[in-house]
Amino acid sequence: MAELIVALDVQTREEAVEKVKLIGDPVGFYKIGLELFTAEGPDVVKAVRDLGKKVFLDLKFHDIPRTVERAVRSGGKLGVDLMTIHSVGGRAMIRAAADAAAEFGEAGPKILAVTVLTSLDQGDLEDVGISGRTPAEQVASMARFATECGAHGLVCSPKEVGALSGVLKAGTLFVTPGVRPAGAAVGDQKRVATPADAVRDGATHLVVGRPVLAAENPCDAARAILAEMNAVS
């Protein structure tokens, strides 16, 4: 069954803890990204874990293999469940991340590869030297490459999941942001899908931020999304 991850896109540990408590039992998984981690560091990871929640640490590592290996090891020591790397970091870097995660056994962090940032279009790819391929072709190629090198899964748009889930090995994790319940404000997301569509297409984890955090009643908003997900799985 697919899991809901709420993106804790807030600025302070106090706000993060307040939101997690407010949402309560329905949600067991939270994403801590660059904004919150840069402000509050490992303490905020510990605070969310102390509330009994799983943590997706979304820092998108891209560095030499040794540095990424050591950063993943630090994440494993913090007890996080999911971490992100950029697949353009290359074969040795992805393998180093996966090997460091494996040191923690089954309970250790799972490594998710970012393929092509959804903010990039064809022109942006050409600017960085990737020509002759559409973003979709580049995503598919990077996804195969990253999972062959040991990444446990991918962060991808819900619009990409359907095409990828059929061609990658069974058990690959598909973590999709850009999810909006029917009728919710889209905000700056451009290519959105409903929770039901994302699950139907093969997403294993749905990342949702504003539709939950900015709701009048975040707990009810999360429950509504979970109901939509569970109606499919």
Just list the catalytic residues. Answer: 60
Cβ-based neighbour number of residue 54 at 10 Å? 17
Q: Is 194 near ligand C5P (CB under 6 A)?
A: no
* Sign of the torsion angle spanned by Cα atoms 85, 64, 106, 152: positive
Nearer to ligand C5P, 6 or 65 (CB): 6
Q: Is 143 near ligand C5P (CB under 6 A)?
A: no
String marking each residue 50-89 x if it binds ligand C5P according to CB under 6 A: ----------------------------------------
Q: Which of 87, 115, 118, 194 binds ligand C5P (CB under 6 A)?
A: 118
Q: Is 195 near ligand C5P (CB under 6 A)?
A: no
Please, which residues bridge with residue 179 across strands?
Answer: 193
Q: Is 209 near ligand C5P (CB under 6 A)?
A: yes
Q: Which of 2, 3, 4, 9 binds ligand C5P (CB under 6 A)?
A: 9
Residues in the chain: 233
Contacts of 132 (CB under 8 A, 6+ apart): none
Tokens found for residue 33: 């990204």
Q: Which of 207, 222, 225, 229 binds ligand C5P (CB under 6 A)?
A: 207
The SS3 call for residue 52 is: coil
- Interface size with ligand C5P, residues (CB under 6 A): 14
CB of 184 to ligand C5P, least distance (A): 9
Q: Scanning residues 161 to 190, which ones bind ligand C5P (CB under 6 A)? A: 177-178, 187, 189
CB 116 within 8 A of CB 125: yes
The CA-based diameter of the chain, rounded to the nearest angstrom, is: 49
Q: Which stretch binds ligand C5P (CB under 6 A): 17-25, 163-171, 204-212, 218-226?
A: 204-212
Q: Which stretch binds ligand C5P (CB under 6 A): 65-73, 75-83, 160-168, 205-213?
A: 205-213
CB 83 within 8 A of CB 75: yes
CB 163 within 8 A of CB 136: yes
Q: Which of 33, 108, 109, 158 binds ligand C5P (CB under 6 A)?
A: 33
Q: How far is CA 42 from CA 49, 68, 80, in A?
A: 11, 17, 10
Q: Scanning residues 120 to 139, which ones bind ligand C5P (CB under 6 A)? A: none
Q: How far is CA 108 from CA 21, 84, 102, 103, 196, in A?
A: 25, 14, 7, 7, 29
Return residues touching ligand C5P (CB under 6 A): 7, 9, 33, 118, 155, 177-178, 187, 189, 207-211
